Structure 1
Amino acid sequence: MNPKLLFWVPALLRLATVFVAGAVLWWLAGPIAGLALALAGAIVALFVQLSYLRQLGEWLNDPQSGRLPDGWGAWTDVFARLYRMRRDDERNQKELAEWLARFRQAMHLLPEGVAIMDDVLFLEWCNPAAERHLGLTIERDKGLRVTNLVRHPDFIDYIILGRYEQPLTLSLRGRKIECRIIPFENRRQILVTHDATDTERVEAMRRDFIANASHELRTPLTVIVGFLEIALSDPGLDGATRTAHLTLMTEQAERMQRLIGDMLQLSRLESDEFPLRRERVDVAALVESVAAEARALSGGKHEIAVEVDGPDVMGSMEELRSAFANLASNAVRYSPQGGKIALSWRRGADDLQFSVTDRGIGIDPQHISRLTERFYRVDKSRSRETQGTGLGLAIVKHVLLRHGGRLKISSTPGQGSTFTASLPNTSLPG
């Protein structure tokens, strides 16, 4: 049926009912009574309409679906439609609030900083990462101009020039912060920040590693190439000289082989393509084997003692052997002839410990924090004499990290050092 008819037909019927009742009373009791009844009916109808208009006005001041009246007559349909519309709005608002809460939670968890600014660079909102990167506080800085909050000449030039195709890298509070501005809508801009400090540090480490590795390989290659040139240019070298040259070339080739082997091992330890394969490791036998290798390297020049008072563990036999052997060989290389070296495996209060203690030259405290860096050497000349690659402690650190452990170093110059490979109790066999 036509919606207009649905409204007018009931209204006209109610009005006709009032007039018919007035006409009947007119016929029964006279014209005054009939007119009075018709007037009273019209007044009641008007009062009802005004009452519903008042209720509608009050509801519009606080439009909640649960507060709508039931209505009468045409108002029933009006209030029913308003109830449906308001219920849909409340559902949409609830969904919008949920999405907004999820968005804010996601923005809070993002490692990237996000700040929203208007077209004149006044701060409207930012997430915690942006607060950390730029030194902002949303409660304090909201509504302030970002260029007054981030007082860096390069940042201000970046804003003024408006060349947003490339990101801008700033040094703020000792960190490298990469900034990018993204215009959106007509009067909004997004400032995205990224902490590139670790990335730059890794890149610097990569450059240093390549430079150091190239330097380490260049030295033995120079020796080998030099002796080969001598041999080619002077076929009449006497046997003793030729033998000495071959011996030196062999030593340098072995040094390169050890260096390349250590670099490949480090690469495997850092790669996700080589996950840790756990097996039961007989640590007592492993320590005895490492001690035997250390005695062979020492050639009887050191006194090497072994103490084993700990359980077996779950881990990689090959990796743990490499870590323990590196610690033991370092003690042999950096201990003077006749020095004492102690290898021990014991269960600590809250961990498992393999310790190597020597009475060697010791290490100055300023060097200890850097000992596990690739190619870092306290005494470069002595390292060349001992034929070290400069990667041993880096290998130890990465092996322990893969096993959930850590390397502890204590040393006193002139008195000796103790290197402890600590493994967690979770390494114990189940």
Structure 2
Amino acid sequence: MRPHLVFWISALVRILLILSGAAVCGYFWGVKVGLVLGLIGMLGLVVMQLQYLLSLSDWLDNPSSARLPDGWGAWTEIFSRLYKLRRGDEKNQAELAEWLARFRQAMTLLPDGVVIMDDVMFLEWCNPIAEHHLGLDLKRDKGMRVTNLVRTPEFIDYIILGRYETPLTLSFRDRKLIVHIIPFENRRQILVTHDVTESERIDMMRRDFIANASHELRTPLTVINGFLEIASLQPDLEVSIRSSHLKLMVEQGERMQRLVEDMLTLSRLESAEFQVRCEKIDMHAMLRHILQEGQALSAGKHQITLELEGPNLQGSSDEIRSAISNLVTNAIRYTPEHGEIKIVWKSGAQGPKLVVQDSGIGISAEHISRLTERFYRVDKSRSRETQGTGLGLAIVKHVLLRHNAQLLIESTPGVGSKFCVQFPVSRIVE
């Protein structure tokens, strides 16, 4: 049976009951008594309906399934249906709130910035990455126009033109961002920011690396090709001249070989798949061997001393050996004849420390922060004389990073340099 038909039948039944009661009373006690009682009954029915209407009005002002009153008659059906509708709405709201919470959590975990705006660019919500990229603060800036918060001419022009099919490349707060604006629903828009600062830096480093490597290889190749061309055009060249040319070609070939080996070493150290080997390193034996190599390279031109007090380490023996050997080799190459070089291996409160100190030419303060960059040289002419590849300290930096160690450099021009390698306590092997 239809609900409205049930309502009318219920109302007619109540009216008929009141009229029947009034007729019975009028039959026994007179017509006036019956009319008065019938009128009172009808007024009572009206008052009851008004009371239910008032309760319904109060509930509509503050709807809640727990506050619905109990009804009588047709009101029972009305309140029951309202209760079901309200319970359905509460369930839908709970599901919507849960979905919105999951959505915001997912947006919070995204590596890109997300800003939700209305159709006139007022900020409604943003994730922490967007706050970092654009300098926003959700608590402070909510309800403010985004164009008033991001004050750059490129961004404002992008908004005014409204050509959102093409992303905007924006330099903002020392970052390089790719900005997209995506229409969302009818009255909302999503602004997405992607930080490409690091990738741009890596691309620039890659380009510089290729350019520098090409430059470093070009010189020895030019020398070798030049001497080969002379040998082919002048087959009767004097033996002494030919021998000197061959000697120079061998030196340049060895230089190219060292350069290629250093580049391969750097590539291997930077590879995430190349894990640090965990082995016991006899530091005393290793440093004595490096001392012998350094004395052979110096050929008696320097005074090299070694102090051994530190413990053994845990890590990659080949990598640690390569790093220390590079430091000692640099000290020998950049220290004039009769200079002093000290190698100290000692324990400390923060962990064992290796010190390589020389009385060499020294380094100006403005160069120290860039010494570990690939192919960076303080004095290019001096580097050519020492036959360095320009990758030694870059290799040292990557080896130490892989072993959680730090490189500290102190240097004074004309006085000398001090390279300190601080290893963590966790690397000590008893």
TM-score by length of 2: 0.89
C-alpha displacement of 1:377: 0.8
Q: Percent identity?
A: 62
Query: What code does the residue aligned with 1:49 have?
Result: Q
CA distance in 2, matches of 1:183, 1:219: 56
State the partner residue of 1:59: 59
Tell which deviates more after alignment, 129-138 or 376-385.
129-138
Question: Alpha-carbon deviations, 1:277-311, whole Å to 9, x = none?
Answer: 32222223222222222222222322222223233
CA distance in 1, matches of 2:387, 2:268: 23
Query: What code does the residue aligned with 1:368 have?
Result: I
State the partner residue of 2:408: 408
C-alpha displacement of 1:356: 1.3
State the partner residue of 1:269: 269
- Structure 1, unpaired ranges of 5+: none
C-alpha displacement of 1:61: 0.6
Query: What code does the residue aligned with 1:204 have?
Result: M
Matched, 1:313 2:308: no
C-alpha displacement of 1:362: 1.6
SS at match of 1:348: coil
Matched, 1:385 2:382: no
Query: What code does the residue aligned with 2:406 have?
Result: R
C-alpha displacement of 1:385: 1.3
Tell which deviates more after alignment, 300-309 or 328-337.
300-309
State the partner residue of 2:355: 355
CA distance in 1, matches of 2:239, 2:107: 75
RMSD: 2.7
- CA gap of 1:2–1:160, structure 2 versus 1, over 3 A, is closer
5 Å-filtered alignment, 1:66-215, equals: 66-136=66-136, 146-147=146-147, 149-215=149-215
State the partner residue of 2:238: 238
State the partner residue of 1:371: 371
CA distance in 1, matches of 2:423, 2:377: 26
Question: Alpha-carbon deviations, 1:372-428, whole Å to 9, x = none?
Answer: 000001111111111111111111111111122221111122222221222222224
Matched, 1:346 2:373: no
CA distance in 1, matches of 2:285, 2:62: 81
C-alpha displacement of 1:117: 4.3
C-alpha displacement of 1:320: 1.4
CA distance in 2, matches of 1:4, 1:143: 47
Matched, 1:283 2:304: no
CA distance in 1, matches of 2:151, 2:252: 55
C-alpha displacement of 1:92: 2.5
- Size of the aligned set, in residue pairs, is 430
State the partner residue of 1:335: 335
CA distance in 1, matches of 2:334, 2:253: 23
C-alpha displacement of 1:347: 2.7
Question: Alpha-carbon deviations, 1:349-379, whole Å to 9, x = none?
Answer: 2233222122222211111100000000111
SS at match of 1:411: strand
CA distance in 1, matches of 2:12, 2:277: 89
SS at match of 1:351: coil
Matched, 1:299 2:305: no
C-alpha displacement of 1:36: 3.9
Tell which deviates more after alignment, 207-216 or 310-319.
310-319
- CA gap of 1:77–1:181, structure 2 versus 1, over 3 A, is same
SS at match of 2:423: strand
C-alpha displacement of 1:12: 4.2
- CA gap of 1:77–1:350, structure 2 versus 1, over 3 A, is farther
Tell which deviates more after alignment, 218-227 or 64-73.
64-73
Question: Alpha-carbon deviations, 1:63-98, whole Å to 9, x = none?
Answer: 122211122222223222222222232232233333
- Structure 2, unpaired ranges of 5+: none
- CA gap of 1:6–1:394, structure 2 versus 1, over 3 A, is same
CA distance in 2, matches of 1:408, 1:15: 99
